[in-house]
Structure 1
Amino acid sequence: MFTGIVEELGTVAGLHRRGDSALLHIEGATVSSDAKPGDSISVNGCCLTVVDVTPGADFTADVMAETLARTSIGRLAEGERVNLERSVRADARLGGHIVQGHIDGEGELADRQHSDHWDLVRFKIPASLSKYVAEKGSIAVDGVSLTVVEAGDDDFSVALIPTTLKHTTLGIKQPGAAVNLEVDVIAKYVERLTAVREGAFA
């Protein structure tokens, strides 16, 4: 589990295809400092398992077909920056919200409006996911925990503070860029429990 509080901007060192899977090599001194094979690290919101690591330097992770099909990970290019977060410890504060690292779908950065110290950014979202997005609710965009400002039928907006603009890829992405989306897992469970109560799964 993650919190959506990005620890570091990493750099893609390589993406090596192996049929329907891939090996992703990421440079990230902070997240690799205490990592070991088998650990989970969020890369642009995707929970990936470390298979090899050079502590304090870089790590390599397996990327399966499901991840390649449902996220932007398979289109990463060498030198591209990515958001990195280690899995949360049980004794740590939950600074953002509950983020599983299981991407629900891709969105697109539609536009951004600059202010003196913050940006208002709007994202397009698949219609199948929009029902899980609520004003003042939480959503993870490329692994960044954000609060929704406005929620529409096929889009939503967020306000990005200076820290987010400086320390995540959302500060540099421009309109047209793809982003990984994870909606609030609580909303999905509420939907399913309601359907069970109404007999949809009887």
Structure 2
Amino acid sequence: MFTGLIEEIGQLLQIQKSSSITRVSIAAKKVLEDTKIGDSIAVNGVCLTVCKLNSTGFEAELMPETSAKTQFATYTNRRTLNLERALRADSRIGGHIVSGHVDTAGVIEKISTQGQGKSQAYILQISVNSTGLIVPKGSIALDGVSLTVIAVNLSSSKTSFSVGIIPHTWENTILQTYKVGTKVNLEFDIQGKYQLASAKNTSQNLNLDQLKSWGY
């Protein structure tokens, strides 16, 4: 589990793709502290297991399912990456619970700014196919960054939503590199996913006796 608070920006040194597995080598510094083989690190919101480790970076492997569900298949060497170590049980959760299991991809439709100077905020508008899992004031992970949804526009074919980004987040994540058309990894709020699944199961079994047991 992660919090969506990025610890540092790393760099993809090498990516080796094959039909069975993808291997990546990533340059990092801060996330290497206290990290050992077998630990998890979120890379652009994707939970990866550290397979090799040295003083300047680490290596990890991706299953075909991970490559297919994420944007890793499009990555090339020297690309910058958001990095975060796994959450410790004694840590504060400053963002929201992020599993590191990407749900889908989003596309940046618009980038705008509000305010001036240090108070400037960045607004991203993103299109994505969703199933009602994005709600105003809810949480979403964008390439591993925990963000709050500002507004949601629904249509029959897609969902468009916007998020606000404070200068600190903009300057300390790869969000600063985004352009219109950039594809990003999205993970919906895990609480929302479980609640939606529970609601679907409940509605299928809903009857008068069930309502009475709930006090209706």
Q: Aligning the two structures, in what range does the TM-score lie when normalised by the shorter sequence?
A: over 0.9
1:123-178 Cα deviation digits (max 9, x unpaired): 1111xx25000000000000000000001111110111001110111112111001
Alignment partner for residue 188 of structure 1, among 193, 199, 211?
A: 193
- Alignment map for 1:106-117 (pairs within 5 Å): 106-115=105-114, 116=116, 117=120
Is the partner of 1:190 in helix, strand or coil?
helix
The alignment's C-alpha RMSD in Å is 1.3
Give distance in 2, aligned partners of 1:74 and 1:11: 16
1:25-48 Cα deviation digits (max 9, x unpaired): 110101122221110000000000
The 1:144–1:173 alpha-carbon spacing in structure 2 relative to 1, beyond 3 Å, is: same
CA contact (8 A) 1:165 1:172 kept: no
Q: Which 5+ residue runs of structure 1 have no aligned equivalent?
A: none
Give distance in 1, aligned partners of 2:168 and 2:131: 27
Structure showing greater radius of gyration is 2
Equivalent residue number for residue 174 of structure 1: 179
Which portions of structure 1, spanning 4 or more consecutive aligned residues, are displaced by more than 3 angstroms? none
Equivalent residue number for residue 30 of structure 1: 30
Q: Which 5+ residue runs of structure 2 have no aligned equivalent?
A: 206-216
Equivalent residue number for residue 135 of structure 2: 134
Indicate the percent of aligned positions where both proteins have the same amino acid.
38
* AA in 1 matched with 2:71: S
TM-score (norm 2): 0.88
* AA in 2 matched with 1:11: Q
- Alignment map for 1:77-96 (pairs within 5 Å): 77-96=76-95
TM-score (norm 1): 0.94
* AA in 1 matched with 2:167: P
Give distance in 2, aligned partners of 1:80 and 1:33: 22
1:33-66 Cα deviation digits (max 9, x unpaired): 22211100000000001100113x1000011101
Residue-pair matches, total = 198
